Amino acid sequence: MGKQKPLVVVSGSSKGSRSAWQASRILLGIHGAQSRFVHPNNWSEEISMDGLLLLGGVDIDPALYGGKPHPSIMRIEPERDHMELQLLQYAKRENLPVMGICRGMQMINLSYGGTLLPHIGDLELDFVHHKTLFPMKRVNVIDGTRLHAIFDSHRVKVNALHHQTVERLGVGLRKAAHDRNGIIQAIEHNEVPFVMGVQWHPEFMPYMWHTQRLFDAFVRAARV
């Protein structure tokens, strides 16, 4: 029998993650999970959890993926980068479910050896990349992926708050969704049952059916 109230560790910044943490805590609770928020000032390597949720936030240090400083990168948080890479290593060792949101998806990719595109604005795009807190961006979900099995749909509308994205996929990862420009919007592991990241912010869209399905699937995986 699975765990009745799995414990999900939610990682974020010591500053600036409060709204995302509160929104995620509510969604996790709705679907039956306990949650604990960790940040660089309160975390410990001696940690216990049944699942890991990585929140969005400031840009990742480009040195971690062999990148160069970019004028669009205004602020980084190396202490958080270090913490989340340690948490991801723990989750890998224990075969725990992991979900990444925006920056969190990018951290998952880096932990498997992938790289990031530092600024989408450097690309020549067929369609303008708009930032929006509301679900106005159409994303195509790839058939045969775990994400498609969760949504049972080839298309969802999401928000967009990012200016970076996955460039080269990490070892064992695959693209699960993309936008009209072909930019990766979701990734997942080929073999591990639940290692998944989305480039949008589902925690700020609790009213969308696909947000509820995503959090439900994550908590179900944490119960095993």
Residue 197 one-letter amino acid? G
| Short-list 59, 17, 16, CA closest to 37 | 17
Q: What is the pTM of this model?
A: 0.95
Position 125 confidence tier, pLDDT thresholds 50, 70, 90:
low
* pLDDT at residue 126 in the model: 53
Residue-range definition of the domain harbouring residue 107: 7-223
- Which structure tokens are listed for 131? 């930032």
For residue range 193-214, list pLDDT tens digits in order.
Answer: 899 999 999 999 999 999 999 9
CATH code assigned at 49: 3.40.50.880
Residue with tokens 């095993």: 224
**Annotation says 130 is catalytic:** no
Q: What is the pLDDT of residues 65-111, one digit of tens each?
A: 998 888 788 789 999 999 999 999 999 999 999 999 999 999 999 99
DSSP codes of every residue in 21-42: HHHHHHHHHHTT-EEEEE-TTT
Could you say which of 31, 163, 203, 210 is catalytic? 203
Q: Is the pLDDT of residue 127 over 80?
A: no
Which is the catalytic residue, given 84, 102, 162, 210? 102
Please report whether residue 201 resides in a domain. yes
| The token pair that represents 68 in the structure block | 């160069």
How many domains does the structure of the chain reveal?
1
In a 13 Å sphere around the CA of 6, the CA atoms on its Cβ side amount to 26
Is 97 a member of any domain?
yes
Rounded to whole angstroms, the Cα distance separating 115 from 164 reads: 11
The SS3 assignment for 208 reads: coil
Within 10 angstroms of residue 194's Cβ, the number of other Cβ atoms is 20
Q: Rounded distance, CA 183 to CA 122, Å?
A: 13
The conformational region for residue 113 under phi > 0 = left, psi -120 to 50 = alpha, else beta, is: left
| Mean confidence (pLDDT) of the chain | 93
Radius of gyration over alpha carbons of the chain, in Å?
A: 16
Question: Does residue 1 lie within any of the structural domains?
Answer: no
The CA-atom distances, in angstroms, between 222 and each of 203, 205, 219 are: 18, 22, 5
190-to-44, 92, 143, 194, 221 alpha-carbon distances in Å: 30, 14, 14, 9, 16
Q: How far is CA 76 from the centre of its chain?
A: 17
101 is a domain residue = yes
Rounded average pLDDT over 159-173: 93
Residue found by looking up tokens 């001696």 in the block: 46
In a domain, 25, yes or no: yes
Instruction: Give 155-179 as a DSSP string.
Output: EEEEEE--S-EE-SPPTTEEEEEE-
Q: Is 191 exposed, middle or buried (0-12, 13-18, 19+ CB in 10 A)?
A: exposed
| pLDDT average, residue stretch 2-21 | 92
> Residue 92 has what pLDDT?
97
Any domain includes 53: yes
77 falls within a domain? yes
Query: Does 191 or 16 have the greater pLDDT score?
Result: 191
> Is 102 among the residues known to form the active site?
yes
Per the annotation, the verdict on 201 as an active-site residue is yes
Residue 31 domain flag: yes
Candidate list 31, 162, 201, 210, residue with the active-site label? 201
Tokens representing 204? Answer: 């700020």
3-class secondary-structure state, position 46: coil
